[in-house]
Structure 1
């Protein structure tokens, strides 16, 4: 809750509290605030114990922190050294093997039908016959 407070922020809060409550009432306010915090924590602990006792003995190791979605997923997906099944999911969703198979089929088909193509400048270009057409007819 207060983990993101830096020492400078805490010092600023203490100085503001000193000005607001005064040096003579500040200790009394701190005692009252800590008393309220203790009562709230005791109430929360008793509520947790009541819920655990009502759930029965099969839920005796139930932790309320496990209800947080991130904790729930992490607890049920983690398996010893990593995520269980993550490698299978990653392999199932990887399109590379299918793409490589299609690429080899295309290359093999193109090589059989066309043959080898020389990309050097010295290779003679094929003569294409031009079809005569009437530009007014189109």
Structure 2
């Protein structure tokens, strides 16, 4: 509950509580606060039991933590691997993909062996352009004198 409070903050809170409430009233205040927390926990547990009993036997193993969206998504995506997400995640190598893109942008050879599974020779050509189409990542030649450069709608 207080995992992000350090020792210095805790000591500061204790000293501040002693200064504000005084050493005479502080034990009674601590007892009242702990009693209130205990009653709130009992109330929440009884409310959970009432909800479980009202839902019926179909929801007897219903967990209220599943109502948290983060927990629900984590449970559905990580535990139920019906879609094969683990296999997809393990086959995706972001570092090699980024290196290939950087090499293509800079016009360098990727340096990976042609037979490797991460090399470009081992991959199918996924581009929609035909094999003879100019590479859009390579630097274009400057236009001849008097010729207008090609219009690039994205650049303007």
Match of 2:3 in 1: 3
Tell me if 1:98 matches 2:126.
yes
Q: Aligned ranges for residues 58-73 of structure 1 at < 5 Å?
A: 58-73=58-73
TM-score, normalization by structure 2:
0.56
Distance 1:32-1:97 versus aligned 2 partners, 3 A rule: farther
Distance 1:97-1:13 versus aligned 2 partners, 3 A rule: farther
Distance 1:74-1:97 versus aligned 2 partners, 3 A rule: farther
1:2-61 CA distances to partner (integer Å, 9 max, x unpaired)? 221111111110000000111111000000000000000000000000001101111111
Structure having the higher helix fraction is 1
Contact 1:78 1:84 in 2 (8 A): no
Structure 1 unaligned blocks of 5 or more: 111-138
Q: Following TM superposition, by how much is the alpha carbon of 1:98 offset from its aligned partner in structure 2, in angstroms?
A: 2.0
Q: In 2, Cα distance between the equivalents of 1:61 and 1:84?
A: 25
Match of 2:105 in 1: none
Instruction: Tell which structure's C-alpha radius of gyration is larger.
Output: 1
Tell me if 1:12 matches 2:39.
no
Higher relative contact order by CA 8 Å / sep ≥ 6: 1 or 2? 2
Match of 2:84 in 1: 85
Q: In 2, Cα distance between the equivalents of 1:48 and 1:79?
A: 25
Q: In 2, Cα distance between the equivalents of 1:76 and 1:23?
A: 51
Structure 2 unaligned blocks of 5 or more: 93-123, 135-156
Aligned pairs, number? 100
Match of 1:55 in 2: 55
Compute the RMSD of aligned alpha carbons. 2.8
Contact 1:17 1:26 in 2 (8 A): yes
